[in-house]
Structures are given as structure tokens and as C-alpha cells.
Structure 1
């Protein structure tokens, strides 16, 4: 696999920042070239079109975010059940940072709503992978229907992200966590330890 050059990586990083902060359609090639201190010729050498650059941005975002997210969840809980709830702690912390502008994939899908569009497909694939991750945790936790729980928790995450994007400090993350806790507890049969009952004097006779 050909390694990216320094300039190629710089262009991608600059574009990623602008796409996320300003929106994909609102960010033109001229703005990217200016911010990267390069030329259109150099940009098109590595990315033949803006669409190629957008897809590269989303794939990079996918890999970077997925690695960071899993590491954060793993650092907060040791059990599958604990990690399911930790998902909402990590999401909540991410939504609280000043640079938060929503989810890059939800934003991209909204800008390119047709399902056949490559940008829309990459965005949908991100959430397919996210649900698979949640489903694996639910399965490991002993949930009888891990796919249903994964869909429910994913919907809570997506809803919280959009709510927080529309109104900062909305408390959406905490409300989503509370709802998730009820869903998780209702979906995973907990092992109950049976304590031996004390015999009455009549039973002992």
C-alpha cells in the first residue's frame, strides 16, 4: 500500500477540519487549497476530484474515531454490560467539547441524502459498523436479542447527537444514558444468587 506524502496528508487534514466545521458543500476547493498553502494542481494530484477528497475524509474519520471510541469505552469498563453503558459516557464527553459540530457521518448523509450516493453509503456504513460493535457487546453480555438492543441504543446515540448539535448543553447525553440503562437492564437477564431460606422450627422437626 502506497504511503501518503506529507502534502497529501496535510491537504486531507485541512479538508477534514473545514468539512467538519463548515460543512461539505459550503467548503470549496479554493478554500482548502488556501488553508493548506498549496495549489489546485497539487490537490488534484492526490485527490482527482472534490468527491474523492470527501470520501477520503470520511474514511479517515471512520478509522480515527472508531479507534479512539473503542479505547475510551475499554478504559471505562471491564465487562460487556459495563461497556454498553460506558458508550454513553464517552459520547457525552465528546459532545461536551467546544469543537463539537455533530456527527460527521450524520451531517454528510444529510448533505447527500440519496442512498445511492457514495458519500451517503460511506456514512451509512459507519453506523452499520457502530451497531455491530454494540451488538457484539450485547451478545457478550448475555442479551437474548442483541441486534434489537443494538438498534435501540444506536438510535439513542444518534438522537442525542442531533439534539446536542441543535442546542448545546441540552442534557441530551444524560437523558440518553438514563434511557439506555433501562433498556440494558431490561434486555439482559441478571444472575440472581439464591440465599438459603431459614427453616422454621416446624420444618426442622
Structure 2
């Protein structure tokens, strides 16, 4: 996939949501390379066949995990920006306030995107 190409996304069924949630927790706690599809399937309560039927590959699970995390972060940030006064310094400070609140609530191990990039640094991924 090229740098300007958008990743393909899948429709989330209840089983796919369980897979994504289990994968997100495991990827964030242990790292993407350290987690295999057998463990993800077991943690999600699905068969490996179901996992591959829904996602096609571990790579697609990673895409869904990171895209979901990004969407949740942007929605979280939007709340802080919407509540900030319109003055540019206040809007900049709102980004820092949101980042602090997010990391306190969600990110004891740092940014998921940065962590993923550290593991998968090939730009063609």
C-alpha cells in the first residue's frame, strides 16, 4: 500500500468487533509482532477460521486496530477543541490538555501509532 493510499476497511460484525478489541488490547500490551492470530482468536472467543473470514490477514487486523484508535483519539480531541475558546493559544493548549487526559485514561504505554511505527517501519506497509 502506497503512502497516499487509504487502507481498506471491513464491516464490523459482532465477532469482528471482539477480534479487534482483543487484538487492540494484546497489541498495545505486548506489541504487534509478539501477538499471533491464535492468541487473538482465543482471547476473542472465535475460531481462527472466523478471524480469517472476517479480516483475511493479521495485517488487516492491525489496520482496523490502528484506524479505530485514530478515530477514537480524533473524536476525543474534537471534544476538547469544541470546548476551547476560539483564540489560537487556547486551542493549542486544548490539544495538550486532551493529550494529557487521553494518556491518563488510555495510554500508559505511549502512542499506539508511534509504537506500531517502531515495530513496522517499512513505509510500504
TM-score category, normalised to shorter length: 0.7 to 0.9
1:7 to 10, 15, 24: 15
Q: CA deviation at 1:80?
A: 4.1
Counterpart for residue 70 of structure 2:
62
1:96 partner SS = helix
Q: CA deviation at 1:45?
A: 0.4
1:48-87, aligned counterparts within 5 Å?
48-75=56-83, 77-81=84-88, 82-87=90-95
1:43 to 43, 47, 51: 51
TM-score, normalization: structure 1?
0.52
Please say if residues 94 and 100 of structure 1, whose CA atoms lie closer than 8 Å, have aligned partners that are also in contact. Answer: no
| CA-based RMSD | 2.0
Q: CA deviation at 1:72?
A: 2.5
1:70-149, aligned counterparts within 5 Å?
70-75=78-83, 77-81=84-88, 82-97=90-105, 99-116=107-124, 118=125
Unaligned runs of 5+ in 2: 1-9
Q: CA deviation at 1:97?
A: 3.5
C-alpha distance 94-47 of structure 1, shift in aligned 2 (>3 A): same
Please say if residues 76 and 98 of structure 2, whose CA atoms lie closer than 8 Å, have aligned partners that are also in contact. Answer: no
For residues 25 and 85 of structure 1, the distance between their equivalents in structure 2, rounded to whole angstroms, comes to 35
Unaligned runs of 5+ in 1: 119-205
Which consecutive segments of 4 or more residues in structure 1 shift more than 2 A? 72-75, 93-99
Structure with larger Rg: 1
2:69 partner SS = helix
Counterpart for residue 40 of structure 2:
32
